[in-house]
Amino acid sequence: MAKKLEQIEADAQEILIAAELIRLGARMQLLEAEVVLSRDRLMKLYKQVRGVSPPKGMLPFSTDWFMSWQPNVHSTLFANFWQQVAETDHRRRLITAYQLYLDTVDAVQIEPVLSITRAWTLLRFLNAELLQLTPCSQCGGHFVTHAYEPAKTFVCGLCHMPSRAGAGQENRKHRLAAAQRSLPVKKNRRRVASAVTG
């Protein structure tokens, strides 16, 4: 009996985490990899939270996206937050770091470019040592680069801005970012978060 109760509690925990990830825009692949719930339950949950079926198809698998100027700045910001968040559950760590990233770009009135699924992919790339954080030789900030970037000569994209950096930002605004913004969930999200941690 006691075991069953534990099981239920663990399930509830997973559901809360999954719901929060979905609200932040996570794709099914992320959920399936990180949450201990069956695919069916995740699909159902996704529909309940978002009101639509989860998008199909593969996730982009390329480290190049993180190297272009604007995504690099955003992923660097996220990676730095992630490093700072001390949280034992790595899903909570992802959620908290991503939340910090969203809050920050929100505060300086920039559209988020990095989706939570991309953020998660970034962490996997960092883990697999395809990418790394390299300190810029000029400003000292830690930036996302390819693995084995020679640190001595590395200059970050913000110290040495490419001439067209940031141009055409309006057109490139991420569709996902817009979708996230339209979801009136900010208050809810917090309540859910505090219900778990508190």
Partner 1 sequence: MPAPDFAEEIRELNLNFLILAQRMAHDNVAAAAVKLGVAEEDLRWLQTLSPAKLVRLAQGAMLVPQFRFDGALLKQLAGDVGRDEAAAQLHALILAQAKPRKSPIVGDDDGEKT
Complex with partner 1: residue 87 or 149, whichever CB lies closer = 87
Q: How far is it, in rounded angstroms, from Cα 8 to Cα 14? A: 10
Q: What number of other Cβ atoms are within 10 A of residue 37's Cβ? A: 18
* Residue (42 or 94) nearer to partner 1, CB: 94
Sites of contact with partner 1 (CB under 8 A): 73, 76-77, 80-81, 83-87, 92-93, 96, 99-100, 103-104, 108-110, 135, 139-143, 158-159, 161, 165-166, 190, 193-194, 197-198
Smallest distance, Å, CB 118 to partner 1?
Answer: 17
Q: Is 83 annotated as a binding residue?
A: no
As measured in angstroms, the least distance from the Cβ of 96 to partner 1 is 5
Residue 163 counted as an annotated binding residue: no
Joined together, the tokens standing for residue 101 give: 């990233």
Say whether 136 counts as a known binding-site residue. yes
CB of 152 to partner 1, least distance (A): 18
156: annotated binding-site residue? Answer: yes
Nearer Cβ to partner 1 (42/102): 102
C-alpha 164/C-alpha 46 separation (Å) is 39
Smaller CB distance to partner 1: residue 15 or 85?
85
**Binding residue ranges for Zn(2+):** 136, 139, 156, 159
